[in-house]
Amino acid sequence: MSGLKQASVAKLKSKEAIIGIVGLGYVGLPLMLRYNAIGFNVLGIDIDTSKVDALNEGKSYIEHISAEHIANARASGFEATTDFARVTECDALILCVPTPLNKYREPDMSFVINTTDALKPYLRKGQIVSLESTTYPGTTEEELLPRVQEGGLRVGESIFLVYSPEREDPGNPNFETRTIPKVIGGHTQACLEVGVALYEQAIDQVVQVSSTKAAEMTKLLENIHRAVNIGLVNEMKIVADRMGIDIFEVVDAAATKPFGFTAYYPGPGLGGHCIPIDPFYLTWKAREYGLHTRFIELSGEVNQAMPEYVLSKLMDGLNERGKALKGSRVLVLGIAYKKNVDDMRESPSVEIMELVEAKGGIVGYSDPHVPVFPKMREHRFDLSSEALTAKTLASYDAVILATDHDKFDYALISEHAQLVIDSRGKYRAPQSHIIKA
């Protein structure tokens, strides 16, 4: 069957292959634009009709991806669909679907499994299937492999299966899809060769590993490294604060060491679709092997406690001014999980808003990237972003700087807010109405 492998590789190298991208969110959409830009015919597949309709009309629903880019892709052949039967047209299928945690902090594999089940009837000889969703080591072998082979296709012979984790960093101006090296592991050597042919067209550097499990573990290690180090610096922040030391000054000073130190900065908790979630995929899988991942769980405890820490600082600040949190008006600045993006997944800002409300506070928010509080799976506020004016700031008993967007006017905030709870270290000079959190 090496003839099928060679044909698949040749089709990808000549850019005659049709690329199918399943899941058109923060990962799938940039990937679509990249393949489209280099001359591939790309078909986008998503179960969300509103996303598909928007894309086919040349519109974008992600702030840092312009409508112009989508319209250009449409003009050069890109199309989106909800019809999984069209999978048969594709030579490559790249799965970019969510892998959240359930309420017990266990992997929710329903998106991956349901998507694979939806693709199954339409798989054919010569295709390559690549999973990009972050997941536990063994997912590709345990969940995708048997489903892909159900109809009689043999992985490594008549169809090819790889795992290649996404590494998108929304809002980071220094990197784009093309320039971020791509890790890939194949179920067999033939799978790997077809996978490399798929990705080397679009990505400057493809990094090969020996198996899909190694590729899955690579992604988890990257995110666990970050989660553990953020947990460490968040714990250090609490210690430094109690000692009257500015942790941001300390991190900046330590970062001048040219070796052996990487700067991580504390915040109000972890956000995004990766760092708060992915480490627990390994925690869950490790139990199967009788192992207990103590670093992951400890950093998780520290990071999950940060919104409560911010709340305690807010209550202390109000208390010093003779006010209770109950009945106080509190404005949260920035509800996206990181600066300069509109992505709200797992945002600690939202948890802070819920904690304030639960204590009887009256909560509002201001975020230039999120004009209306969106419908979320677990959180709901019927709020719109408040314009940041001197009058608005003065009308609140306290403002919490939760996400430090560049669009905020920090001088205006400092001048007119009655009380500022700064969880991002934006205000270094001591001021009586600014409390570091």
In a domain, 281, yes or no: no
In a domain, 293, yes or no: no
The residues with which 333 forms a beta bridge, in sequence order, are 366, 401
- Of the residues 150, 174, 209, which one is the last residue of a structural domain? 209
pLDDT at residue 272 in the model: 77
In a domain, 396, yes or no: yes
- Of the residues 174, 209, 244, which one is the last residue of a structural domain? 209
The residues with which 92 forms a beta bridge, in sequence order, are 19, 128
Q: Are residues 327 and 185 in the same domain?
A: no
Helix runs in 243-321, H state only: 247-254, 279-288, 294-304, 306-320
Neighbour tally for 244: CB within 10 Å: 6
* Token pair of 420 as six digits: 């500022």
- What CA–CA distance (Å, rounded) separates 47 from 82? 5
Structural contact between residues 384 and 372, judged by C-beta atoms closer than 8 angstroms: yes
Cα–chain-centroid distance for residue 278?
10
pLDDT digits (tens, 9 = 90+) for 320-348: 999 999 999 999 999 999 999 998 988 99
- What CA–CA distance (Å, rounded) separates 296 from 277? 11
- What CA–CA distance (Å, rounded) separates 324 from 331? 15
In a domain, 270, yes or no: no
Q: Model-level pTM?
A: 0.92
pLDDT at residue 270 in the model: 86
Residues of the chain with pLDDT under 70: 1, 377
- Residue identified by tokens 């590494």 is 167
Q: Are residues 181 and 77 in the same domain?
A: yes
In a domain, 369, yes or no: yes
In a domain, 345, yes or no: yes
Q: Are residues 197 and 329 in the same domain?
A: no
In a domain, 353, yes or no: yes
Q: How many independent structural domains does the chain possess? A: 2
The residues with which 206 forms a beta bridge, in sequence order, are 182
- Residue identified by tokens 């012979």 is 157
Catalytic residue among 90, 96, 191, 274: 274
Q: Are residues 322 and 196 in the same domain?
A: no
- Under DSSP, the state recorded for 87 is G
pLDDT at residue 376 in the model: 77
Q: Are residues 347 and 204 in the same domain?
A: no
- Of the residues 158, 192, 209, which one is the last residue of a structural domain? 209
3-state secondary structure of 164: coil
pLDDT at residue 177 in the model: 87
Domain of 408: which CATH number? 3.40.50.720
- DSSP per residue over 404-434, as a string? --TTS-HHHHHHH-S-EEESS----S--TTE
pLDDT at residue 175 in the model: 86
Helix runs in 155-262, H state only: 189-200, 212-242, 247-254
In a domain, 101, yes or no: yes
Strands (E), 85-150: 92-95, 128-131
Structural contact between residues 141 and 156, judged by C-beta atoms closer than 8 angstroms: no
**Domain containing 374: what range?**
305-436
* Token pair of 319 as six digits: 């208390």
Q: Are residues 194 and 319 in the same domain?
A: no
For residue 35, give the H/E element and its range.
Answer: helix 28-37
- Under DSSP, the state recorded for 36 is H
- What CA–CA distance (Å, rounded) separates 137 from 200? 24
90 is catalytic: no
